[in-house]
A and B are shown apart, each in its own frame.
Chain A
């Protein structure tokens, strides 16, 4: 028998691949669906049992031969299986494609089962989940080794070795330790890659002897002696060590599919881990005949993936249906003056706005789907100085007036068609640094949310470069040298470079020569000095401010040590260029001198009050990246828990704060509650982009949440839960008169079948007057403040 040959080979049977195969089967096109696992749609298969799958975005119509509607995971998988059988989809299970080679008349696909398939066209729909990383040594495929743990309760009295030091490994080890003898193999001796709660829990379990820690060890081999009986050999600093075990659970993360995709000849636009391959409006990659759809193409939701599966087959067949999302785009474009068609609208945007020109059609489409087009009246306010919004604006028509400094109202900058603004808050994660109004002729603006913009920056190097350069100039103008134009700053800008620091890394040390100035672009730093042999933190400097000017002004070595409090990016300006600028502009020198003077006073105040410990404590709690945090004075807190009850009562019966947990320093307690981070980690990987920041700074989750749990995992502070809110709350008067449930009590029997969604603090943005927890505290123990405020006040400079 020769090599099987089909017209379309589809790799991956997720919603995208399945939908493509369904359309091909319906049209009678010879096709083959290759799936690595033994069942369809492994990603959905892996969702938690009974998960409510959501069909976002709601407005997007489904266009697919396979069915899909919101519902339980089981029902959806069942419907897909039925549909695959009825349509006669040709599926090859257990066929992981390991190589795709282009040939003169199409492609040859090799699978790990040793088979080769030939196809005219290939549709790559392998999603983003990647392959679970294996042990990478002898024995990695034994039954003894497993790479997933569905139910820790299923094992009793076994000797189990967990390999890995991330959150998954720790959570598994802790759960298994209840009924088994568990060891955890860690390549290092710390668990600092894991969330704080997890690393504390595992260290405690190790200290108490519930889990054995095999640190600084790697796995050399695994051998099976009898079924369920084996030996694991470890490489350690002291040599090899063998341990007997019944089971090895390795949680080593997944390898992103990128390497495989690149090996097929597909280009990625940048090295950034978030970059997606560039494809044409017809989903064709740079390899002709190789199409990419679904999550791998940057579309993270099921419905989008299914629509693309249908469309890609249409395109391959030479038809060109209007993409299903055209409806959505048309609705957005309608406000554009002289709107004709979606195609014309996209073309106009591409030609008008240079920063968007390097995008592929598909990227631009996605960008516009996420964006809003606004027609703004002349003089209308777009955002205000100190607003907390972080979307990005491009000017399509008309223009805007930017007023950088409230005080110097004379200083206005006009931007016209093709330019953009809003990049400062996007990059720094801080409040708006200027007020923006529409110009005298009004404006047509494209507003893009932070998430899509960050994805774009990661995917298109040209966009990143333009934004970085613009940010640099505007930041220097705003923070260091107001009133100077680009020409006056040329030398300084040319000397600038971008520096990145991990949390805890030093920018410079006390006593170092002063060779540069850092303008903090993102993150924050602490300034500390050695006093009586102890490091005392004097100040916290957030993004938007600069550090390191002291040494440049005084020509002395560094007077303090500056350390990144969280992951931080700075613009490093060379001393020589900076000094040259100062000598040319004495008023600038004066300004910087003033700040310098204020800082000296502030620092000595901290010295004398011994306030450094609090600053250090707060920084250790990650407050260096917070914008607003709940702080409880335990000397005032009477433990009545009205803060929690208020939160529950105003938020569907689920409190988003846990008063009791969290660390305490002297009397200052940091409860488990959202800090509304400058760059919220929770936003990082939200498929429907449901996490946003309101103008007041509140990071909140919209109803679009699909309950995937990514944000819960990504938040390092453990403040997101998956929960079911109930619309009706206990009535106060019923309780007062008849008893029963007190307001703020958990609603108990919430609808069991209801979909779990992510819930977190929204700082009561929809209630006037501020957060309910603070307003409900009878004693004044609970306050919400921004760290700037708190630390400045505790430094005594803000009175």
Chain B
């Protein structure tokens, strides 16, 4: 794994015990291959020969061991190896199945329950490889996304920013206020699987709110100069200046308030995006298991059917 860190204290499960399981799986494959090439049954290689039975038996035993990972992983008191060792064995022995089972059936495929089992196995292995890639790529991306922070703190900050935004909006106008409240209510973090993976369907951060607020700022900022254009007579200048100042100050104050609100919303939306990205990365770390595990169970069922059928109907 790329990210086994700079320190040799941490060692990836792939390298567990100096690649013990990789070596073992490789040896198993070589041995099967040699036996297969050497063994020349009269009616061609298939599951029914003694070698076929042997390889089938090994394959089935391996599948059961691989399935057992789901159990061992949760037997927290078990002293039977470490889960890291089990995962290492799981990956390498799982990959070796591809060869062992192919040799078992002598590449005889058809439209039957036997081939269904085979196909399921290939799918399980494929999803396993996907998982391996996910495990390799995503953890580093999560760390980089976090950059020292964490999701809980972000969520807290978002809630906090919402409150501040509502406070600011309250000072501006009832209309802005109600729209900010609505936008805060509509915020969505995570959600169902689809939302977790691809982000919420709804656009975040208030539809058109930003545009209308920006327009208002522009209005306010250009307002006083329009006033200056209609300057009245001399004697009123002082009064007028004071009025304009008041107006400018008022307008500038409102503009500044809106600007602050906009900055705040931008920051909030950026945080929300980051949270949803974090949720998506976490979901993707688990997503493949949603295939891997049900497919393994289907494989188990098909395997039982296969063995049952060859013993009783053959």
Chain A neighbourhood of B148, CB < 8 A: 663-664
Instruction: Name the interface residues of A726-777: CB closer than 8 Å to any CB of B.
Output: 732, 735-736, 742-744, 767-769, 772, 774-777
CB-based nearest B residue for A790: B9
Given contacts A634-B139, A636-B3, A638-B285, contact A780 B11 (CB under 8 A): yes
In the assembly, what is the distance between CA of A614 and CA of B10, in Å?
Answer: 14
- Can you spell out 16 A-B residue pairs with CB atoms less than 8 angstroms apart? A636-B1, A636-B4, A638-B135, A640-B285, A646-B76, A650-B77, A660-B151, A661-B150, A732-B74, A744-B76, A778-B13, A778-B83, A778-B84, A779-B84, A793-B9, A794-B7
Tell whether, in the assembled complex, residue A779 and residue B76 are in contact, meaning their CB atoms are under 8 Å apart. Answer: no
Tell whether, in the assembled complex, residue A635 and residue B1 are in contact, meaning their CB atoms are under 8 Å apart. Answer: yes
Residue A633 is within 8 A (CB to CB) of chain B in the complex: yes
- Of B4, B10, B11, B160, chain A has the most CB atoms within 10 Å of the CB of B10
In the assembly, what is the distance between CA of A772 and CA of B286, in Å?
Answer: 22
Tell whether, in the assembled complex, residue B76 and residue A667 are in contact, meaning their CB atoms are under 8 Å apart. Answer: no
Which 10 A-B pairs have CB atoms at the shortest separation, nearest pair first?
A635-B3, A633-B10, A646-B76, A649-B76, A633-B5, A634-B143, A778-B87, A775-B82, A769-B79, A780-B84
Instruction: Name the interface residues of A607-637: CB closer than 8 Å to any CB of B.
Output: 611, 614, 631, 633-637
Interface window among A96-104, A522-530, A781-789? A781-789
Tell whether, in the assembled complex, residue A744 and residue B146 are in contact, meaning their CB atoms are under 8 Å apart. Answer: no
Instruction: Name the interface residues of B151-186: CB closer than 8 Å to any CB of A.
Output: 151-152, 157, 160
CB-based nearest A residue for B2: A635
Residue B116 is within 8 A (CB to CB) of chain A in the complex: no
Binary A-proximity of B132-150 (CB < 8 A = 1, otherwise 0): 0001001110110010101
Cross-chain contact of B77 among A736, A772, A778 (Cβ < 8 A): A772
In the assembly, what is the distance between CA of A683 and CA of B70, in Å?
Answer: 40
Tell whether, in the assembled complex, residue B87 and residue A779 are in contact, meaning their CB atoms are under 8 Å apart. Answer: yes
Residue A681 is within 8 A (CB to CB) of chain B in the complex: no
Chain B neighbourhood of A645, CB < 8 A: 74, 76
In the assembly, what is the distance between CA of A777 and CA of B139, in Å?
Answer: 14
Residue A668 is within 8 A (CB to CB) of chain B in the complex: yes
In the assembly, what is the distance between CA of A636 and CA of B12, in Å?
Answer: 7
Chain A neighbourhood of B3, CB < 8 A: 633-636, 667
Residue A82 is within 8 A (CB to CB) of chain B in the complex: no
In the assembly, what is the distance between CA of A669 and CA of B1, in Å?
Answer: 18
In the assembly, what is the distance between CA of A789 and CA of B138, in Å?
Answer: 29
In the assembly, what is the distance between CA of A642 and CA of B5, in Å?
Answer: 20
Tell whether, in the assembled complex, residue A667 and residue B5 are in contact, meaning their CB atoms are under 8 Å apart. Answer: yes
CB distance from B284 to the nearest CB of A (A): 11
Instruction: Name the interface residues of B77-99: CB closer than 8 Å to any CB of A.
Output: 77, 79, 82-84, 86-87
Cross-chain contact of B74 among A210, A611, A667, A744 (Cβ < 8 A): A744
CB distance from B79 to the nearest CB of A (A): 5
Given contacts A636-B4, A639-B285, A650-B76, contact A780 B139 (CB under 8 A): no
In the assembly, what is the distance between CA of A208 and CA of B138, in Å?
Answer: 32
Given contacts A639-B282, A776-B73, A778-B83, contact A667 B146 (CB under 8 A): no
Given contacts A633-B4, A633-B5, A779-B12, contact A743 B76 (CB under 8 A): yes
Tell whether, in the assembled complex, residue A208 and residue B16 are in contact, meaning their CB atoms are under 8 Å apart. Answer: no
Binary A-proximity of B46-88 (CB < 8 A = 1, otherwise 0): 0000000000000000000000001101111101001110110
Residue B8 is within 8 A (CB to CB) of chain A in the complex: yes
Chain A neighbourhood of B87, CB < 8 A: 778-779
Tell whether, in the assembled complex, residue B11 and residue A664 are in contact, meaning their CB atoms are under 8 Å apart. Answer: no
Tell whether, in the assembled complex, residue A636 and residue B5 are in contact, meaning their CB atoms are under 8 Å apart. Answer: yes
In the assembly, what is the distance between CA of A588 and CA of B214, in Å?
Answer: 79
Tell whether, in the assembled complex, residue B83 and residue A777 are in contact, meaning their CB atoms are under 8 Å apart. Answer: yes
Given contacts A631-B10, A780-B12, A780-B16, contact A668 B76 (CB under 8 A): no
Given contacts A775-B83, A779-B135, contact A634 B76 (CB under 8 A): no
Chain B neighbourhood of A742, CB < 8 A: 74
Chain A neighbourhood of B70, CB < 8 A: 736
In the assembly, what is the distance between CA of A645 and CA of B16, in Å?
Answer: 22
Interface band, chain B: 35 or more
Chain B neighbourhood of A192, CB < 8 A: none
Chain B neighbourhood of A735, CB < 8 A: 74
Instruction: Name the interface residues of B1-36: CB closer than 8 Å to any CB of A.
Output: 1-13, 16
Residue A666 is within 8 A (CB to CB) of chain B in the complex: yes
In the assembly, what is the distance between CA of A637 and CA of B4, in Å?
Answer: 10
Cross-chain contact of A660 among B16, B140, B152 (Cβ < 8 A): B152
CB distance from A37 to the nearest CB of B (A): 39
In the assembly, what is the distance between CA of A775 and CA of B74, in Å?
Answer: 11
Chain B neighbourhood of A778, CB < 8 A: 13, 73, 83-84, 86-87
Tell whether, in the assembled complex, residue B140 and residue A667 are in contact, meaning their CB atoms are under 8 Å apart. Answer: yes
Tell whether, in the assembled complex, residue A636 and residue B74 are in contact, meaning their CB atoms are under 8 Å apart. Answer: no
Chain A neighbourhood of B6, CB < 8 A: 611, 614, 666-667, 794
CB distance from A619 to the nearest CB of B (A): 16
CB-based nearest A residue for B15: A780
Chain B neighbourhood of A667, CB < 8 A: 3, 5-6, 140, 143
Tell whether, in the assembled complex, residue A668 and residue B75 are in contact, meaning their CB atoms are under 8 Å apart. Answer: no
Chain A neighbourhood of B139, CB < 8 A: 634-639, 781
In the assembly, what is the distance between CA of A781 and CA of B87, in Å?
Answer: 13
In the assembly, what is the distance between CA of A649 and CA of B285, in Å?
Answer: 23
CB distance from B244 to the nearest CB of A (A): 32
In the assembly, what is the distance between CA of A636 and CA of B13, in Å?
Answer: 9
CB-based nearest A residue for B143: A634
In the assembly, what is the distance between CA of A648 and CA of B192, in Å?
Answer: 27
CB distance from B20 to the nearest CB of A (A): 13
Cross-chain contact of A732 among B9, B75, B83, B84 (Cβ < 8 A): B75
Tell whether, in the assembled complex, residue B285 and residue A783 are in contact, meaning their CB atoms are under 8 Å apart. Answer: no
Tell whether, in the assembled complex, residue A793 and residue B76 are in contact, meaning their CB atoms are under 8 Å apart. Answer: no
- Of B83, B140, B148, chain A has the most CB atoms within 10 Å of the CB of B83
CB distance from A795 to the nearest CB of B (A): 10
CB distance from B308 to the nearest CB of A (A): 21
Chain A neighbourhood of B76, CB < 8 A: 645-646, 649-650, 743-744, 772, 775-776
CB distance from A348 to the nearest CB of B (A): 47
- Of B74, B76, B160, chain A has the most CB atoms within 10 Å of the CB of B76
Given contacts A635-B143, A660-B152, A661-B150, contact A793 B83 (CB under 8 A): no
CB distance from B169 to the nearest CB of A (A): 17
CB distance from A652 to the nearest CB of B (A): 12
Chain B neighbourhood of A631, CB < 8 A: 9-10
Instruction: Name the interface residues of A191-247: CB closer than 8 Å to any CB of B.
Output: 208, 210
Given contacts A775-B82, A779-B135, contact A767 B77 (CB under 8 A): yes
Binary A-proximity of B237-255 (CB < 8 A = 1, otherwise 0): 0000000000000000000
Instruction: Name the interface residues of A651-671: CB closer than 8 Å to any CB of B.
Output: 660-661, 663-664, 666-669
Given contacts A642-B83, A649-B76, A769-B79, contact A732 B71 (CB under 8 A): yes
CB distance from B80 to the nearest CB of A (A): 10
In the assembly, what is the distance between CA of A634 and CA of B6, in Å?
Answer: 12
Given contacts A639-B285, A769-B79, A776-B83, contact A781 B73 (CB under 8 A): no
Chain B neighbourhood of A790, CB < 8 A: 7, 9
Chain A neighbourhood of B13, CB < 8 A: 778-780
Chain B neighbourhood of A736, CB < 8 A: 70-71
CB distance from A362 to the nearest CB of B (A): 46
Given contacts A636-B3, A778-B73, contact A789 B143 (CB under 8 A): no
In the assembly, what is the distance between CA of A649 and CA of B74, in Å?
Answer: 9
CB distance from B14 to the nearest CB of A (A): 9
CB-based nearest B residue for A798: B8
In the assembly, what is the distance between CA of A776 and CA of B82, in Å?
Answer: 7
Tell whether, in the assembled complex, residue B10 and residue A636 are in contact, meaning their CB atoms are under 8 Å apart. Answer: yes
In the assembly, what is the distance between CA of A402 and CA of B209, in Å?
Answer: 80
CB distance from B112 to the nearest CB of A (A): 30
CB distance from A729 to the nearest CB of B (A): 9
Chain B neighbourhood of A783, CB < 8 A: 9-10
Chain A neighbourhood of B1, CB < 8 A: 635-636
